[in-house]
Amino acid sequence: MVLILALLAATAFVWCLTAIVEKVRLGLSPAQAVLYAPFKLIYRISDSRIDIARGAQAPVVYVVTHQSRIDPALMLSLLPDETLHILDQASAKSVWMEPWRELARTIAFNAEHVFVSRRLVRVLKGKGRLAVYIPAAVEPDLRSFRLYRAVIRIAMQADARIVPIFIGGAQALPFHASGRTPALRRWFPRLDISVLEPMTAPELVARNGSPATRNAYALFDRMAEARLASTNPNLTLFQAVRDAAEHFGPGRIALEDATGNRLSYRRLLAGASILGKHFTKFTTPGEAVGVMLPNANATVLALLGLASAGRVSALVNYTAGPANVEAAVRTAVIRIVLSSRAFVEKAKLDDVVQAVEAGGAKLVWLEDLQPGVTGFGKFCAALLWRYPIYRQKAENPAVILFTSGSEGAPKAVVLSHRNLIANAMQGEARVTVSCRDVALNVLPMFHSFGLTAGTLLPLINGVKLFLYPSPLHYKLIPEVARRLKPSVMFGADTFLAQYARAAADGDFSSLRFLVAGAEAVKTQTRRVWRERFDTEILEGYGLTEAAPVAAVNTATHNREGTVGRLLPGMRMRIEPVEGVAEGGRLFLAGPNVMMGYMTADRPGELQPLADGWQDTGDIVKVDNEGFVTITGRAARFAKIAGEMISLGGVEMLVQSLWPEERHAIVSVPDRKRGERIVLVTTATQADAQSLRKLGKQAGIAELAVPGDIIKVAEIPVLGSGKTDYGATRALAIERLNAGSAA
């Protein structure tokens, strides 16, 4: 009895002491402090940014992402006591909420009249404060999206500031606001209250880059930014995967490859530590170390091992050809390249190995490192799997990737840990993923889409990841999907069209969504996947320099023909282009935009962006809801008889004529007009008369209609699936000189 009384007295003392500290620290009322103290103690709440919300000048609307049943109680404890809280029906009626409801004025949520009520506008205009709780869906349905429209309309009418609030970690609490069981249940997660700076509705709309005067998407984007801000921006790759292991469980299977080998988070990080120790023997901190491996567990182990050891992974594109590989090695000043004898032999990469050596690098074979692993080393790694070998900062370089070279010589792109983690979490804040998902990644990791979206995003978010070594195995990949039953997949149109042709009905029926990038998705490909597998292709857009994803469609916000909307935290600038009437050249800025380039004329030297803005080289137009449409490449314009012709636009037009075939439009030198347009196509039925007729129907200038047609069995492509326009143009010139054009 004495012990129980002592425990009760100690609990009361800690409670009272915490309440006093929080009252003084945050300026809470005594009642608020007393009721906030247990939350602070149980959930170790990080609340340093709540001062932004409390200090916001009225009139103000606090928009809270409603994830768990405790969210309203927390906000009633922390927001100024003159705030009017609009509670959902469950919170308004719940018995346990009664003490918190006494802290401030509350009304029950009723979407039919609350959000069109003039009373709320009057409350705000009278220097009032309003707290609105919006459902936590990353991809809200149309009904939920009405709340965004209502809130921004009220804020605009009252000239009120908007303060987004997101409680990081609350999504794992078992008492979920929706009533559904969360994908991962944790009774006592650490909570982090993310609060963004107050902004008026017009300021939000202006930031969104939209010409619309009232735009719910502006608020939607701001709420996604609050979600993104709740993640730790100071993590390295190793630390991010380590945190995922601790959050989802060290024993959880994180990774599997085509050999059937499975790795839990603990084994993955322990293996990375073992490799990292080896790497420290023949490399130096900060050195660029080449990685020439296929999609396999060993590749992820090598990446995390290099990250743990403070080295930079330079992912060698072994499909780019010996000349490009040699240039890449020289540009990034790579001294050591990690590879596998078995892989080189199977993939027949002897010429690429020679190119690596010609570039001045030495091959280190993973097979040769295995005998050096001792039992004591394994024991230490198993014991210390949570700790990196070498401490470094998130702003340090993490990987070097090489641009596709689809239109010219590849450049080395230097991405920091922060760039990569930010892009993975930007994706998580836009597209719904959870530890219930299974991801199938067939895209190589030397391609930025395959690295960040296909590999890092699943690992960091507890999604079980299956790596397949090559996207070119068109008949085998549907069989893998039939067995694995993935819910998430990533690909490029070229590959997806081939998988659909080879697949049996039902092979991909388990997919919840399929994200496509690297090239435009053809209408035919989209239709086949929709009809045969009941799967929507979510088209996105990116570039290596943006780590790579910049925009994406989602399941509930999907506009066919566009690449979706910018990811949260990104900004765009569009500059006019000669000859382009609508839209312009796209520039991007954001936490995922690269540190800078290395180029062949300045090898090993990081050349940072001068002003933080990346010139994408893409010509785009943006509608009033922020959906981006790619209309062409600045480099893919031809100037014929003084007129600027978009080669990409002509290519899309030709695709509509023969949708089941592949086409590439290139320009070649012409003595009379400077340049002329050539169609390279797999369509055996292609003819000039059909092209001229299509041109007249579309109302395009006669100059833009291809005058020459070159028929091929296959269009040259890069390892990413993109059309290799450099090789295609060389092919066109060769055929034209030989007189073999139609």
Range of the domain at 666: 641-738
Find the catalytic residue in 66, 278, 417, 447: 66
Q: With a cut of 90, say whether residue 24 has pLDDT above it.
A: no
The half-sphere exposure of 251 on its side-chain side, counting CA atoms within 13 A, is 0
**Tokens 């566009």 map to which residue?**
562
549 with 485, same domain: the answer is yes
For residue 581, what pLDDT band results from cuts at 50, 70 and 90?
A: low
The half-sphere exposure of 552 on its side-chain side, counting CA atoms within 13 A, is 30
Q: In Å, how far are 524, 651, 656 from 684, measured between CA atoms? A: 18, 16, 15
Give the end of a domain, one of 185, 203, 229: 229
In this prediction, residue 189 carries a pLDDT of 85
Give the end of a domain, one of 211, 229, 247: 229
416 with 544, same domain: the answer is yes
120 with 264, same domain: the answer is no
163 with 218, same domain: the answer is yes
In this prediction, residue 415 carries a pLDDT of 95
Question: Is residue 48 included in any domain, yes or no?
Answer: yes
For the chain, the average pLDDT equals: 84
How far apart, in whole angstroms, are the C-alpha atoms of residue 358 and residue 723?
28
Q: With a cut of 80, say whether residue 568 has pLDDT above it.
A: yes
* 94-103, 244-253, 427-436, 699-708: segment of lowest average pLDDT: 699-708
Find the mean pLDDT for residues 419-440: 90
- 367 near 342, Cβ under 8 Å? yes
In this prediction, residue 114 carries a pLDDT of 47
66 is catalytic: yes
210 with 280, same domain: the answer is no
In this prediction, residue 739 carries a pLDDT of 56
**What CATH number is given to the structural domain containing 325?**
3.40.50.12780
Residue with more model confidence, 110 or 599: 599
How far apart, in whole angstroms, are the C-alpha atoms of residue 195 and residue 174?
23
Find the mean pLDDT for residues 383-398: 89
Residue with more model confidence, 551 or 7: 551
How far apart, in whole angstroms, are the C-alpha atoms of residue 66 and residue 178?
9
**Tokens 């962006």 map to which residue?**
609
225 with 245, same domain: the answer is no
- 237 near 310, Cβ under 8 Å? no
Question: H or E stretch including 687?
Answer: none
159 with 287, same domain: the answer is no
In this prediction, residue 694 carries a pLDDT of 67
Q: Please tell me which of 235-249, 512-526, 572-586, 622-636 the model is most confident about, judged by mean pLDDT.
A: 235-249
The half-sphere exposure of 452 on its side-chain side, counting CA atoms within 13 A, is 32
Residue with more model confidence, 252 or 10: 252
**pLDDT tens-digit readout, 645-703:** 667 667 767 777 777 777 877 777 766 656 677 878 887 777 777 777 766 666 566 66
In this prediction, residue 194 carries a pLDDT of 92
**What CATH number is given to the structural domain containing 708?**
3.30.300.30
Q: With a cut of 60, say whether residue 613 has pLDDT above it.
A: yes
Question: Is residue 352 included in any domain, yes or no?
Answer: yes
What is the residue-wise DSSP string for 392-417? --TTSEEEEEE---SSS---EEEEEH
What is the residue-wise DSSP string for 119-147? HHHHHHHTT-EEEEEEE--SS--HHHHHH
Q: With a cut of 90, say whether residue 423 has pLDDT above it.
A: yes
How far apart, in whole angstroms, are the C-alpha atoms of residue 539 and residue 558?
8
Q: With a cut of 70, say whether residue 605 has pLDDT above it.
A: yes
Question: Is residue 195 included in any domain, yes or no?
Answer: yes
Question: Is residue 266 included in any domain, yes or no?
Answer: yes
Question: Is residue 23 included in any domain, yes or no?
Answer: no
Which is nearest to 234 in space by CA: 221, 243, 225? 243
Q: Where are the beta strands (DSSP E) in 458-595?
A: 464-467, 488-491, 513-516, 537-542, 549-552, 565-566, 571-575, 584-589
301 with 402, same domain: the answer is yes
66 with 115, same domain: the answer is yes
Find the mean pLDDT for residues 296-301: 93
356 with 430, same domain: the answer is yes
Question: Is residue 31 included in any domain, yes or no?
Answer: no
251 with 200, same domain: the answer is no
In this prediction, residue 725 carries a pLDDT of 75
How far apart, in whole angstroms, are the C-alpha atoms of residue 177 and residue 70?
8
219 with 298, same domain: the answer is no
Question: Is residue 169 included in any domain, yes or no?
Answer: yes
In this prediction, residue 720 carries a pLDDT of 55
Q: How long is the chain?
A: 742
Q: With a cut of 90, say whether residue 101 has pLDDT above it.
A: no
For residue 213, what pLDDT band results from cuts at 50, 70 and 90?
A: very low
Domain total of the chain: 3
**pLDDT tens-digit readout, 699-732:** 566 666 776 777 777 787 765 566 777 677 777 7
Q: With a cut of 60, say whether residue 641 has pLDDT above it.
A: no
Question: Is residue 222 included in any domain, yes or no?
Answer: yes
Both tokens of 401, joined, read 């990737």
How far apart, in whole angstroms, are the C-alpha atoms of residue 575 and residue 308?
41
Give the end of a domain, one of 206, 229, 252: 229
Amino acid at 716: P
In this prediction, residue 210 carries a pLDDT of 47
pTM comes to 0.84
Q: With a cut of 90, say whether residue 262 has pLDDT above it.
A: yes
- 663 near 728, Cβ under 8 Å? no
For residue 211, what pLDDT band results from cuts at 50, 70 and 90?
A: very low
**pLDDT tens-digit readout, 136-195:** 877 787 777 888 888 888 888 888 899 999 998 888 888 776 667 666 777 888 899 999
Decide the pairing of beta strands 614-622 and 584-589: antiparallel
In this prediction, residue 738 carries a pLDDT of 60
Across the strands, what pairs with 549?
A: 542
